[in-house]
Amino acid sequence: MPTVEPSAEWGIEAAEGLKALLAPHLEASDEVVVAIPEVRRIHTASLQLLVAFVRDRAAAGRATRIAPCADALRDAATVLGLVGTLGLSSNPQ
């Protein structure tokens, strides 16, 4: 199972790097784990890339899991109504 580990910087200037990091895993047949233990800043462009990655993989029947998930990312996903799309729990255990 491949694990993708983006940096903690999710500002708009990081979007291109995030896309380059996720793209090689788009068609991976195994579950892809995106490990996001820390996020310092979140810009919607970077969040949109993550949503598109998870959505496109799901549409192709491929599993993606975000674990661990930084509280800041979970909070942003909650505010934007993306918790379900990203497969997150709004209340982590």
Q: What structural domains does the chain harbor?
A: 3-86 (3.30.750.24)
pLDDT at 31: 97
Whole-model pTM over 0.75? yes
Q: What angle do CA 27, 32, 34 make, to 5 degrees?
A: 125
Alpha-carbon Rg for the chain, nearest whole angstrom, is 12
What is the C-alpha separation between 61 and 63, in angstroms, rounded? 7
Please report which confidence band the pLDDT of residue 91 belongs to, taking 50, 70 and 90 as the band edges: low
